[in-house]
């Protein structure tokens, strides 16, 4: 899982500092080894997204970043080769929206 | 291929062009498939347990696998044909990796039929293939043959791939361990194919919105066949009726993201 490492304001202008995360290597094996820690499988009911995670709407893999994610951020799903923009759903959850 | 593990600070910092180049390459493909196919033989681990099947279970599984073989043959022929009409080299290279994937899918499914005691898979496929999947294959290849890039890509990498992705994923949940492993491996490949189709088509429609009408036409033309093929397959797998509406969800979500939701 993602563990908060430190608060860090790098790359952010006038916003709250972002949490940073150390990504561990899980069992995700669908992308080259150097990219594996940026992805994990959704574990079904009971699973929860951390602040640095969004689900890829195309292939349903969980995408992870070393930074807390916020609306407007760009993330990539390498499992299905999709570029996504992070948005906030009406329910308040972060979501990935395809950017073709 | 494992070698020294290169560290990547954050993959999401890549420039879009660098990301595109990376994921569409053979280099990326090699290392991706190595992760989940290493140590497998014909798509499953050699020590996967062969559970005994009753005669009727075996017979139904053979019918399902024969129809998967038709779908995978269509995908192999479709992907190979798309290489010739793809608009640029990066896309051609990616489709070459897809053609290799589809060839592997066909091979492991044929091999699984052999393991189930089917002596002549070609003849068995001939006998058991459903009319709807054969018709879908015919229409897909006609679109590829007519060099209609967007329409053929939609039929192949959005419709057919979404159908396979969902059906294989669902089937793997109840299949015997060997078939389940074979299907799970295929699903991992299909993730790249559905993503490629949706993203490439999304880009084309963004650049040339007038093409949307043509894709809508293809969709209307093929939707009934897709639904029929889905229905036949899920009946043969033995999925309860209550779970069936879910099966079309990946396809419907993709067409809605592409702005093709209304038929
Ligand atoms: Fe396939
Ligand atoms: Fe495929
Ligand atoms: Zn994805």
| Segments making up each domain of chain A, as ranges | 18-98
B1-10 per-position pLDDT tens digit? 344 456 678 9
Q: What would the mean pLDDT of A44-65 be, rounded to a whole number?
A: 94
Looking at 3.30.230.10, 1.10.620.20, 3.40.50.300, 1.10.3720.10, the CATH number of the domain B40-44+51-257 comes to 1.10.620.20
In this prediction, residue B151 carries a pLDDT of: 96
Query: Are B11 and A78 inside 8 Å of each other by CB?
Result: yes
Say whether pLDDT at B140 is over 70: yes
Q: For residue range B75-125, what is the model confidence (pLDDT) as tens digits?
A: 999 999 999 999 999 999 999 999 999 999 999 999 999 999 999 999 999
The ligand that comes nearest to the alpha carbon of residue B98 is 2
Residue B2: predicted pLDDT:
40
pTM: 0.91
**In this model, does residue A9 exceed pLDDT 60?**
no
Interface of A with B in 27-86 (CB under 8 A): 29-36, 38, 57-59, 61, 65-67, 73-83
Domain boundaries, chain B: 1-39, 40-44+51-257
Query: Which residues have a Cβ under 8 Å from the Cβ of B64 and sit 6 or more positions away?
Result: B171, B233, B236, B237
CB of B2 less than 8 A from some CB of A: yes
Identify the pLDDT of residue A43.
92
**How many C-beta atoms surround the C-beta of residue B128 within 10 A?**
18
Q: Express each pLDDT in B159-212 by its tens digit.
A: 999 989 989 999 999 999 999 999 999 999 999 999 999 999 999 999 999 999
Whole-number pLDDT of residue A39: 98
Nearest ligand by distance to the CA of B103: 1
pLDDT at B262: 55
Residue of A30, A73, A100 with shortest CB distance to B206:
A100
pLDDT classification of A7: cutoffs 50, 70, 90:
very low
Q: In this predicted structure, what is the pLDDT of residue B234?
A: 80
> What pLDDT is recorded for position B13?
96
Residue-wise pLDDT tens digits, B235-261: 888 877 777 667 788 888 999 999 987
Q: Chain B residues with CB inside 8 Å of A83's CB?
A: 16, 19, 199
Q: What is the pLDDT of residues B48-74, one digit of tens each?
A: 988 999 999 999 999 999 999 999 999
Q: How far from B196 is each of A20, B141, B202, CA to CA, in Å?
A: 31, 19, 10
- Residue B40 CB burial class (10 angstroms; 0-12, 13-18, ≥19): middle
Residues 177-216 of B with CB under 8 A from A: 188, 191-192, 194-196, 198-199, 202-203, 205-206
More confident site: B202 or A27: B202
């Amino acid at each position: 899982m993602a563990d908060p490492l430190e608060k860090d304001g790098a790359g952010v202008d006038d916003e709250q500092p972002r949490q940073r995360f150390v990504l561990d290597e899980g069992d995700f094996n669908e992308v080259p080894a150097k990219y594996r820690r940026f992805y994990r499988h959704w574990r079904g009911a009971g699973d929860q997204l951390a602040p640095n995670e969004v689900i890829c709407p195309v292939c349903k893999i969980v995408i992870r970043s070393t930074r807390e994610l916020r609306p407007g951020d760009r993330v990539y799903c390498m499992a299905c080769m999709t570029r996504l923009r992070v948005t906030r759903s009406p329910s308040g959850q972060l979501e990935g929206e395809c950017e073709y | 291929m494992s070698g020294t593990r290169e560290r990547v600070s954050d993959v999401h910092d890549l420039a879009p062009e660098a990301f595109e180049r990376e994921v569409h390459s053979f280099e990326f493909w090699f290392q991706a498939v190595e992760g989940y196919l290493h140590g497998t033989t014909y798509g499953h681990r050699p020590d996967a347990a062969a559970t005994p099947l009753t005669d009727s279970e075996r017979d139904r599984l053979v019918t399902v696998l024969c129809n998967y073989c038709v779908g995978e043959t269509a995908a192999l022929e479709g992907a190979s044909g798309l290489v010739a009409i793809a608009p640029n080299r990066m896309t051609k290279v990616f489709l070459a990796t897809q053609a290799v994937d589809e060839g592997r899918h066909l091979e492991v499914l044929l091999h699984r039929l052999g393991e189930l005691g089917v002596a002549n898979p070609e003849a068995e496929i001939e006998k058991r293939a459903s009319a709807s999947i054969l018709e879908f294959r015919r229409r897909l290849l006609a679109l590829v043959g007519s060099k209609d890039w967007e329409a053929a890509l939609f039929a192949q990498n959005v419709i057919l791939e979404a159908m396979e992705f969902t059906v294989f994923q669902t089937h793997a949940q109840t299949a015997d361990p060997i078939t389940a492993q074979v299907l799970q491996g295929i699903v991992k490949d299909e993730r790249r194919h559905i993503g490629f189709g949706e993203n490439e088509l999304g880009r084309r429609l963004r650049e040339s919105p007038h093409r949307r009408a043509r894709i809508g036409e293809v969709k209307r033309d093929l939707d009934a066949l897709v639904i029929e093929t889905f229905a036949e397959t899920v009946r043969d797998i033995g999925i309860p009726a209550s779970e069936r509406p879910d099966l079309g969800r990946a396809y419907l979500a993709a067409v809605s993201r592409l702005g093709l939701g209304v038929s």
